[in-house]
Structure 1
Amino acid sequence: MVCYYQKATHDVSSYFVSGRNLPWWLLGTSMVATTFAVDTPLAVSGLVISQGIAGNWYWWTGVFSGMLGMFLYSHLWRRPEIITDTQLVELRYSCKKAAFLRGFRAVYFSIVYNCIVMGWVNLAMAKILSETLSLPKLQATGLCFITTVIYTASAGLWGVVVTDFFQFAIAMFGAIIMAVIVVTKIGGMNVILSKLSEIYGVQRATDMTKLIPINSALLPFSFFLIYIGLQWWSTGNTDGGGYFAQRMLAAKNELHAKIGFLWGNIAHYILRSWPWVVCGLAAAVVYYKLDPESGKLVYAIGTKAGQVADPEVGLFV
């Protein structure tokens, strides 16, 4: 696959924006796959254990900026036919200082910002591989780095989005199958809810399953108000920039950019999170003797603990 798409990257446009030929379903899937790091299901399960389902409003509120970006900005990202979102700076501000701002933005996001993000993502991957494959963390990180560099450097954005598509399909299949296996082994969702009450008490169990944290001891309602009223519009990429914009810049046309961004939001906030929520509730039952921080490792330790996981579960870790 890398060799095939390497042939398609014959110039700058084909390398960075796939010749502006991405269909909506591929660019939208690539968007959600890009936000699907190895630490994401662990974080979601950990939030369910420590703050209840409502704790996920910490990132669910991003749907507001996502939909805003879809309706107002998605077609505009595609229209100027630029190569990167940073390039838009010089189009928006037509003066000499714009060139400096573009350069500063490029350095800040490519070196400072991305290094921080890649640091915690690589740490999560190293932890999981060290648990599941008994690899030293340095070797695990090096293996992931080499694999990723091969297809990104060789095939450009085409290689990235196609790989994203298959990785997302495999990851979602594994997450759904794992949720089904875990729930079945415990005895069903009714048993999980019943055991939550037995282990944590009725009040805490109720708070863990609340979608809106009204009178919740796990998540203050004021935090929920901050999430939905402040956080989503005051953070980066509210305009759909960054790696989202890179996919829209590569869309076939403005309509594909808009529909692709819509599909990315649907898959991101509706489709992918609920298997992790289910696994988080199951982890709260099975690993109740662990503290919430350790509970985040349910995907990794599930294959070793022997309490729920059969060998087939290891295929989906």
Structure 2
Amino acid sequence: MKINIDGFVLSVIAVIGIAYIFPQWGVPGSKIPIDTISTIGVSLIFFFYGLKLSPEKLNSGIKNWKLHLLVQASTFVIFPLLVLLFRPLVQNQEQEIIWLAFFFLAALPSTVSSSVVMVSIAKGNIPAAIFNASISGIIGVLVTPLWMGLFVQNAQSDFDFTDIYTKLIVQIILPVIVGFLLQRFLGEMAQRYGKQLTLFDKSIILLIIYKSFAESFAGNVFSSVSILDIVLLLFAVVILFYTVFLLTGFLALKMRFDLEDRITAQFCGTKKSLVHGTVFSKILFSNMASIGIILLPLMLFHATQLLIISVVASKMSRNASID
């Protein structure tokens, strides 16, 4: 079976390599205004996100409340609680940062585009996938900082909910609302230029990733991280993914979902958004030197979820065709 490696994953790896070789462009005092560019870019990402929110498609998927409840519970409750179980095992500051990185991953909302695409390939409930993936990002703006606020204050003394929510409202909520209000006028154009907007989104995310890792490399944060550590992190990420995937599938069976809804529950409830993760990290951990490490499990999870779900979706699609 041929496995296609996602081009964006390769781009992330390349950007990390550039950050390692040329960290000087992303550190404070650089002549390149990466912070300003990324801040404006983030607002535009969520403005375009609002433009692409179709009221009709959201309304068609809103009625299946049991499915929505399971997906959002998996995303914002099951994931964090699983990682929270390992909190007592933390023994030192290095382990604290790694655990915090996994908890940040667990508290993030679901991704939109890949969730809907994979549900479509696997013959799942597409309107429900669109609704859940879309609403997840909005819920995440409120819930993710609340989860992180329970623990980030120990690692970052200037963690301020008022400042964080102000930034989230200005950079994310307001652009989404403006985009949604203009959807009837510009929504068709946003759909027409969807590929170009996706390229813009990914470019801004790559820019934020570069800056995060450039600062970490410049501060020698990764000096204590070995290849074995990366392998162990990848193993932990795979275990976390499969645990939630199987648990969500089990709960969907217990709730007597049909096959389409089970597919949607498992695919949407196990995804985590790299877009939201990089944006939130920029706001939540702006003064932490170890922000590169904070993003590491998320990027490993992103690559893992794309690989595993694409294989599972293709298999389900073939089985559906045979039936």
For normalisation by structure 2, the TM-score amounts to 0.33
Greater Rg over alpha carbons, structure? 1
Higher RCO (C-alpha 8 Å, min separation 6): 1
